Structure 1
Amino acid sequence: MDDRRTDQAVEIADDWAGYALELFTYPDHYHGDVESVYIPHGVIMNRIECLARDILDDLGHDNLMVLCVLKGGYKFCADLVDSVKAQSRSFDHPITTRVEFIRLKSYLNDCSTEDLHIIGPEDLSMLTGKAIVDTGRTMKMLLQHVEKFQPRTVRVASLLLKRIPGGAMTLPDYIGFIIPNRFVVGYALDYNEYFRDLNHICVISETGKLKYKL
């Protein structure tokens, strides 16, 4: 991945096993269900602060609408918006932010945005927030949808970009971490609706996959 956006991201090596679980606290009911803490919550928050600073450098002159991709992206979007707002208070004119929520199902080619109303798009920058990008299908569909509103600027922020063969051809504009092709959960990323309550991003164990298999 030879691109300015990936150069600015934190890249995690394929052989990184993660931190030992005993170094962290996590819900007891997930004991044995995760292998390791892959990205600690504090590291996530630090990286989000850096992304917020980059976003303000690029878009700080505009009002900002943030489209949060549910469900996995809600924690990332909430923390990212909080950091953008906090850092913008040092401006002479703090930016105005507005958050809307969007559901995307790439496998159904469905985009549920019936309640999305955008006023004055020509005066608005749009930032879409996703927790993770792998194949890039949902991101492509999302961009096709929001471009219909003709905003001044459209940017995509993703906390994670998964490094997989034949991965996303179009990269997010802001990337938190580039990770190997491992099944990660936590920080609102789920496995069959479990693990969203983990603060850290963890690698799910085979025991966890079997336990919560549908």
Structure 2
Amino acid sequence: MTSGGRCVKLGHVDADAIADDLASVLYTPEQIRERVVVLAGQIDKDYAGKDPLLVGVLNGAVMIMADLCRELSIDCEMDWMAVSSYGSGTKSSGVVRFLKDLSVDIHDRHVLVVEDIIDTGLTLSWLLSNLASRQPASLEVAAMFRKPEAVRTTIDCRYIGYDIPNEFVVGYGLDYDGHYRNFKGLGVLRPEVYS
């Protein structure tokens, strides 16, 4: 079924359903799940006995946050923040907008920020500075994907799922103009779709 130039399959979005929109599939759902299990094991070990607060960055981190939390064996809490520097385009606007703050105090808490992707790192750098000013006991980052070639600021990311090429990617929480987030893999979007 095609809708507005996008291929849609009722029930769920898979690579076949959006094949005409993708230049390539970088990671399958199975590869992503395997990596999430590995990350969860590392976090379990590092945060044993610390009661961490996992902070998901909306909207993209919904998938990784849900999958990661289900794989953790340690006790943890979750909260959410929303910041934006994209709008509806494919490149960061450079202006960070704060859309939703945390609902809990993080003073003296072990905080793990969970991100879908580190692109330029500028938005995340701003967010980490904001959180650090609240004096957590520790502040670390887990990102499912990182684009090393695109990073424009130093981000100390303790947990990384995969380093990926500097391409416009969709799936596993990452979108283009609100679409493709529910593709379970990660794919490179064809330029003609967004140009």
TM-score (normalised: structure 1): 0.74
Q: 2:146 aligns with which of 151, 161, 181?
A: 161
Mapped to 2, the partners of 1:171 and 1:150 lie a distance apart of: 17
Counterpart contact for 1:132–1:160, Cα < 8 Å: yes
C-alpha distance after superposition, 1:183-204 (max 9, x if no partner): 1101110011111121110111
Cα deviation 1:153-199 (Å, max 9, x = unaligned): 11100011102156342231111111111111011100111111211
Amino acid at match of 2:185: H
Q: Which runs of 5+ in 1 are unaligned?
A: 1-24, 89-94
Q: Contact 1:32–1:207 at 8 Å: present in 2 too?
A: no
CA distance in 2, matches of 1:42, 1:166: 27
Asked if structure 1 preserves the Cα contact closer than 8 Å seen for 2:121 and 2:151, the reply is no
CA-CA distance at 1:142 after TM superposition = 1.3
Q: How does 1:35-184 map to 2 (within 5 A)?
A: 35-84=23-72, 88=73, 95-106=74-85, 107-114=94-101, 116-118=103-105, 121-122=107-108, 124-164=109-149, 167-184=152-169
Tell me the distance in 2 between the aligned counterparts of 1:142 and 1:161: 16
Q: Which runs of 4+ in 1 moved over 4 A?
A: none
1:17 maps to none
CA–CA distance in structure 2, aligned partners of residues 81 and 193 of structure 1: 24
Residue identity over aligned pairs, in percent, reads: 28
Question: In the aligned structure 2, how far is the partner of 1:118 from the partner of 1:60?
Answer: 21
SS at match of 1:149: coil
Higher RCO, Cα 8 Å, sep 6+:
1
Is this contact kept in 1: 2:169–2:189, CA < 8 A?
yes
Equivalents in 1 of 2:187, 2:26: separation in Å?
5
Q: As a proportion of its length, which structure holds more helix?
A: 1
- In structure 2, runs of 5+ residues without a counterpart are 1-12, 86-93
Q: Which residue of 2 aligns with 1:20?
A: none
Query: Which deviates more from structure 2 when the two are superposed, residues 146-155 or residues 38-47?
Result: 146-155
TM-score normalized with structure 2 length:
0.81
2:34 aligned partner, one-letter code: N
Residue of structure 1 equivalent to 2:194: 209
1:55-114: CA deviation from partner (whole Å, max 9, x where unpaired): 122112201111101111110111111111xxx2xxxxxx33111111112433332344
